[in-house]
A and B are shown apart, each in its own frame.
Chain A
Amino acid sequence: MAKIVVDVMLKPEILDPQGNAVASALPRLGFTFATSVRQGKRFEIEVVGDPTSEQLAEVEKAAEVLLSNPVIENYVVRVEK
């Protein structure tokens, strides 16, 4: 069943101490690939059947009002099969 996914990330200019902590933990474990890590949130939303365009518009609204704080965060809404 398809679900609606909302990814919420801190805006690039906002300091992300959690991402920085992860970035500094990686090399301690021998993982040397990362030049930067940003940490965000992912919401998985299920609806009956396949999401309609009306439902996606509602989710967009909810993402703006509740799921993200537009002062510090960006969000992306998408459908995942």
Chain B
Amino acid sequence: MRVGVITFPGTLDDRDAARAVIAGGAEAVALWHADADLKNVDAVILPGGFSYGDYLRCGAISRFAPVMKLVIEAAGKGMPVLGICNGFQVLCESHLLPGALTRNSDLHFLCRDQEIEITNTQTAWTSSYSVGQKIVIPLKNGEGSFQCDDETLAQLEGEGRVIARYVGQNPNGSRNLIAGISNARGNVVGLMPHPEHAIDALTGPTAEGLGFFTSILNAMVK
């Protein structure tokens, strides 16, 4: 199974994402923002960082990168897509996911180990977890506050599309403590904290992020 990891100018976490894909048991395929083909990948990860310098708005310019046209098409046909942090912002700007990520409510860039609760295990990226399972993975961003209108929020909650929530105090002002959401079909997932930085105890706070990368194998085998 081939999982593409996209590098935009300014992406930081592509190496760790590729490493996590390999640890999860798949082959990591490097994709470049200017690529005109997806190299026959079965799934795509948009990693964290500051793509295009975060100019204008986070993810606003990346959305128009040549490779994103292909990602949007493939996502529409059901290909699993995971956006982490800046990747989540790109997915929102691409309208693959609803809502937007705005400046943290206290204005600080946060970098810490964060407990989250997995609340939906039916998506392509969360099936290795159990509902209610709590995991600790790094959270590191300045614009991680998930915002949307009341109607969208009710829809996300009503359809069970909140896939993870922050545990304890709200770190960034996100509505309903939302740390991650999925599209209606469950193949596109956006997550603010970083599972790719928590795949082994040597380099991460835990190995509890690995489940996102083993889930995708289950999704393909089905």
Task: Please list the residues of chain A having a beta carbon within 8 angstroms of any beta carbon in chain B.
Answer: 10, 13-15, 17-18, 21, 66-67, 69, 71-72
Q: Tell me if B104 counts as interface (CB < 8 A to partner A).
A: yes
- Provide the bound-state CA to CA distance between A21 and B106, in Å: 9
Q: How far is the CB of A73 from chain B (nearest CB, A)?
A: 8
Q: Which of A17, A69, A71 interacts with B173 by CB under 8 Å?
A: A17
A17-B106 contact given A66-B60, A69-B57, A69-B60, CB 8 Å threshold: yes
Chain B residues with CB under 8 Å of A15's CB are 102, 105, 145, 147, 173
- Provide the bound-state CA to CA distance between A11 and B98, in Å: 16
Within B49-64, which residues are at the interface with A (CB < 8 Å)?
A: 56-57, 60, 64
- Provide the bound-state CA to CA distance between A76 and B53, in Å: 25
Q: How far is the CB of A16 from chain B (nearest CB, A)?
A: 8
- Provide the bound-state CA to CA distance between A67 and B100, in Å: 15
Count of inter-chain pairs, beta carbons less than 8 A: 37
- Provide the bound-state CA to CA distance between A34 and B173, in Å: 24
A69-B100 contact given A17-B173, A18-B107, CB 8 Å threshold: yes
Q: How far is the CB of A65 from chain B (nearest CB, A)?
A: 9
Q: Which of B56, B57, B103 interacts with A18 by CB under 8 Å?
A: B103
The reply to whether B148 and A71 form a contact with Cβ atoms under 8 Å apart is: yes
Interface residue range, chain B:
20 to 34
Q: Tell me if B99 counts as interface (CB < 8 A to partner A).
A: yes
Task: Please list the residues of chain B having a beta carbon within 8 angstroms of any beta carbon in chain A.
Answer: 56-57, 60, 64, 92-93, 98-100, 102-107, 145, 147-149, 173
- Provide the bound-state CA to CA distance between A48 and B187, in Å: 47
Q: How far is the CB of B99 from chain A (nearest CB, A)?
A: 6
The 10 closest A-B pairs by CB, nearest first: A71-B100, A72-B100, A17-B103, A17-B107, A17-B105, A69-B100, A14-B147, A69-B57, A21-B107, A72-B147
The reply to whether A72 and B102 form a contact with Cβ atoms under 8 Å apart is: yes
Chain A residues with CB under 8 Å of B60's CB are 66, 69
Q: Which residue of A lies closest to B103 (CB)?
A: A17
Chain A residues with CB under 8 Å of B106's CB are 17
The reply to whether B56 and A66 form a contact with Cβ atoms under 8 Å apart is: yes
- Provide the bound-state CA to CA distance between A67 and B64, in Å: 13
Chain A residues with CB under 8 Å of B104's CB are 17
- Provide the bound-state CA to CA distance between A18 and B173, in Å: 13
5 CB-based A-B contacts, threshold 8 Å: A17-B105, A17-B106, A18-B103, A71-B99, A72-B102
The reply to whether B56 and A67 form a contact with Cβ atoms under 8 Å apart is: yes
Chain A residues with CB under 8 Å of B98's CB are 71
- Provide the bound-state CA to CA distance between A59 and B138, in Å: 40
